Structure 1
């Protein structure tokens, strides 16, 4: 039979057959009259066996090794180990696909809810949008530079979200903030944007205002901290936050603010316990 006829019978293509020839998986038949090759039943049987194994999830390299070992009638244990290994690989791929399917479901729900294609949870994206609107409602002289600060904060949170490091409780926390508190958030963003125009005392005062907001929602804030991963992943979260905050807010006055805010949190036994549960006992730097 001709190569196309054999490929059709096996449910594959002539291109695949020639690929199997190049890999040594399928022997090349002798040339018949006028230079054409005549494939026999033995070639079709071999091709069907190759396709059967490949469709089972085995790589072509694994197929070649198993066929050789099987035909030689040796090392059955090796074939069994290879099959078991292939089975484990399939299970790992299935797990990856399940995770990807869950992520697609989340994106479907996010877009259906009016969100955008972003790793940032919709509730947080809307919160930043609302703060931006509040900034625009202020006098231009008041919010100069504040929109850029807000954009940096949003990018920082997006980076964390892309790594799966923002717990769902963070969204529930911002949902608790009433209109007055959201106005206060906008004002704090403005104040942070103008820290370079103030002294150390101004940075400390702003940190205390931020801390006061956290205390008004202490239970929810602690829930967010306690929902952060622990162990190596938890330490990675805090390290990444430290790096991103340093890159986003490089001025010394920014370090005064973040340092004071962290000191206030660590001075509270409940917050200190939550932070160390996630970050470990190593000194945390923001």
Structure 2
């Protein structure tokens, strides 16, 4: 197929395809005897991969490295990876729609007004733990606001009581800021970075001992539900949260803890 057909297939302009060629991100096929360039299935897959990597926030330099590695891989392997990515996106969309359905139900039954925002207690807590330069803190604030807006009334009251106690504790605020600082340091790290596990364990230890000690996750609670909230974090940062969440769930469900 010609460049126009390739562009139309992926929903981009021919100018975009040529730009990726110019930047060295997308391999450019050689011209045929008739002067045209002929694009095949591997070119279409490569363009789809570039578009997805850009959506995920990778720079063109980073995308170039991924596409270069793809050249040494078999096409079925790349397609299987794309399929897994689409399956993950599908799960995330289902989770988001489920959350949206809860918010919509509250809006329809009158418990959530059009001008409502996070509860005053939560806003006060967020001001206390605010670290303006921290992208990790900004992510955490977004997560807390969403959790607050979607919690059932009894759970929200319990959460706000916990947050109020934390806001009144200078040591807790100091610990939170230190956690954000260490998490921000992992912005350019890989998930296997040696700093990931110690930070996750430290967060889990502190959370169980000082924050979540009265919480008992129900049998249907699934740490996987956190995944859509990790999109804004770097790979190593997301792995810290995943690891800490698994540790917290295991410890809170430990019969020895429940008997104390």
Q: TM-score, length-normalised on structure 1?
A: 0.42
- Give the helix-richer structure, 1 or 2: 1
